[in-house]
Structure 1
C-alpha cells in the first residue's frame, strides 16, 4: 500500500501587485476592522526580508485575529497568498508575511513590550533633533 504524495501547487500573480498596491490593501483591511494605532515603517535598506512593516493594535485576541484574517482576505483579492501567518492560536501577536509587506497585529501590552517601532526606527532621527539630551550644554 503506497500512497501518493500530495503536491501543493502555488502560483504567483502575473504581474504581482506593486508594494504600494499591497500597502493600500493592508491599510484598507486594518481600517475596515478598526485597528488601533496603525503605523507603517519603510525598512528598505535596513532589512533584506521585506520593504515595509505595518504595525497595528487590536483590542482583544479575537480582534487581533480578525484583523489579521482581514489582511489575508484583502491580499487574496489582489491574488497574493501570504508566505506565512504566525501566532493565530494565541492571537496576542499575529504576523502576516505578504513578501514586500509584513503586517504585525498585536495586543497593546505586547506591542509596548516588544517596541517594534523603536527597534526599526533607531538611527532615523537626526542627532540634533533633541537638543536637551547631550545638546549644547553636554558639548562644552
Structure 2
C-alpha cells in the first residue's frame, strides 16, 4: 500500500470509533522512520484500546502486519503501519507528551482531521 492508502486506512478505522482530536503530521522532512504520524485521543483506557484494536484489524484485513505497542496498558498505543505511525493516547498522556509540538518543527505539517 502507498502512503495515502495507509493514511486513509488508519483514519477510517479511527473515525469508525470516533477518535478525538485527530491530527496528521507530515514528518517526511524530519525523519526516515515514517512519512506521516497520526496522533489522536481516546476518551478512556477502554476507548484507546478499542481504537488500537480497530486500526490493527483494518490493517490485517488489508494484508498488513502492523507493529503494535502499548495495547495491554491502553495509556498510549503505538501502531506502526510501515510508513504511517499511529499514536492513540488518553487525554492526560497526550497533554503531557505533546507529540505535535515535538514533530512540528516550525512548519505547517499538522492538519486536524474530522
TM-score, with structure 1 as normaliser: 0.75
Structure 1 residue 45 displacement after superposition: 1.6
For residues 105 and 32 of structure 2, what CA distance do their matches in structure 1 show? 17
Given candidates 48, 66, 72, the residue that maps to 2:32 is 48
**Structure 2: runs of 5+ lacking an equivalent:** 109-114
Structure 1 residue 89 displacement after superposition: 1.8
Structure 1 residue 104 displacement after superposition: 0.2
Report the secondary structure of 1:123's partner residue: coil
Given candidates 77, 80, 85, the residue that maps to 2:68 is 85
Equivalent residue, structure 1, for 2:107: 124
Equivalent residue, structure 1, for 2:77: 94
Aligned residues: 108
RMSD between aligned residues: 0.9
Equivalent residue, structure 2, for 1:104: 87
Report the secondary structure of 2:82's partner residue: coil
In the TM superposition, structure 1's runs of 4+ consecutive aligned residues that sit over 6 Å from their partners are: none
Structure 1 residue 122 displacement after superposition: 2.1
| Bigger-Rg structure (1/2) | 1
1:60 correspondence with 2:44: yes
**Structure 1: runs of 5+ lacking an equivalent:** 1-16, 126-140
If asked which structure has higher relative contact order (CA below 8 Å, sep 6+), I would say 2
